[in-house]
Amino acid sequence: MILVVDSGSYKSDWMLALPDTEPLMFRTRGLNPFFITEKEIVKIVQNITEITPYTDLVTELYFFGSGCTNPDRRELVSNALSQLFTRAFISVETDLIGSAYATCGNDSGYTAVLGTGSNVTFFDGEQVQPTKQGLGFVLGDEGSGAWFGKKLVTAFLYGSLPDELAHKFEATYRINKEIVIKNVYQRNSPNTYLASFAPFMESNQNHPYITGLLHRGFEEFVKTNILLFPNYQEHLFHFVGSIAYYFSEQLRIVCKQYAVQIGKIIQQPIEELFNFVIERETVNK
């Protein structure tokens, strides 16, 4: 059995190939090794009731995750998974590679992630190329859920949100400075916490303030992460993630402004990624 996982900081999508029936698909919390430990990963996976009957039957496990950017982080995830899937060959790669497989397949092109965090890479049809992007929510993540959430919550705390939005924001989240400080500086996964404010934009995306915020965020993403590529106009740019998906209208406006050619926009790449892996492994056998 082949198991494929697409993991971000907020959630992980799992898809397991089953004989003679539809694949099993389910979701868990995110497994980003920058924010959780090996023991925590083991504990989370142990409690996944959907996969428990199949742990000894999985022969290949392909994990694509945010935070898996260096050998140490990939090894952390691999070690955790190997404790549970004892008979499986385990491969751990970055979410960018997974997104490239899901959008580009075997063709060349750019793939950008706009979810809890943000990143971009060029895929040459076989490998993703090293980039300067992907600095995380403190130094980068322009146009991501964490970036937008940070802008929203700081505007609310500073009192610069328009009154009608501020009242809605306060009624929705019931937060104050102390609560925000504790979650950002003292608790795990501050990027996920900040991104949890981004859905507020969806229900208020027609408000001029939110429209302007989306435009600024996507413009900063394009200027910082796309225009640095000298040949960016020669290839399609594919986007993966909830921020790109739910706010695709504003994203398209900004990309058109800078002559960025948009290809696919996918909210959750797991199905396309799963199909790519299954097809690839079938051909290789």
Question: What's the pLDDT score for residue 80?
Answer: 93
- Kindly state whether residue 251 falls inside one of the protein's structural domains: no
Query: 66 with 133: CB under 8 angstroms?
Result: no
Q: Which domain holds residue 66?
A: 2-100+269-284
Query: 90 with 260: CB under 8 angstroms?
Result: no
Rounded to two decimals, the pTM is 0.82
Is residue 150 left, alpha or beta, with left meaning phi > 0 and alpha meaning psi from -120 to 50? Answer: alpha
Helices (H), 47-105: 71-82, 95-104
- Kindly state whether residue 95 falls inside one of the protein's structural domains: yes
Give the CATH number of the domain where residue 71 resides: 3.30.420.40
Task: Give the C-alpha distances (Å, rounded to integers) separating 154 from 20, 32, 166, 186, 277.
Answer: 52, 25, 11, 17, 41
Structural domains in the chain (count): 1
Nearest by Cα to 268 from 13, 4, 2: 13
Mean pLDDT, contiguous 10-residue spans, the chain (285 residues): 89 89 89 88 90 91 89 92 93 90 89 88 80 64 90 93 93 90 84 88 91 94 88 89 92 94 92 90 70
Question: What's the pLDDT score for residue 190?
Answer: 85
Question: What's the pLDDT score for residue 134?
Answer: 63
- Kindly state whether residue 30 falls inside one of the protein's structural domains: yes
- Kindly state whether residue 71 falls inside one of the protein's structural domains: yes
- How many whole angstroms separate alpha carbon 284 and alpha carbon 89? 15
Query: 238 with 266: CB under 8 angstroms?
Result: yes
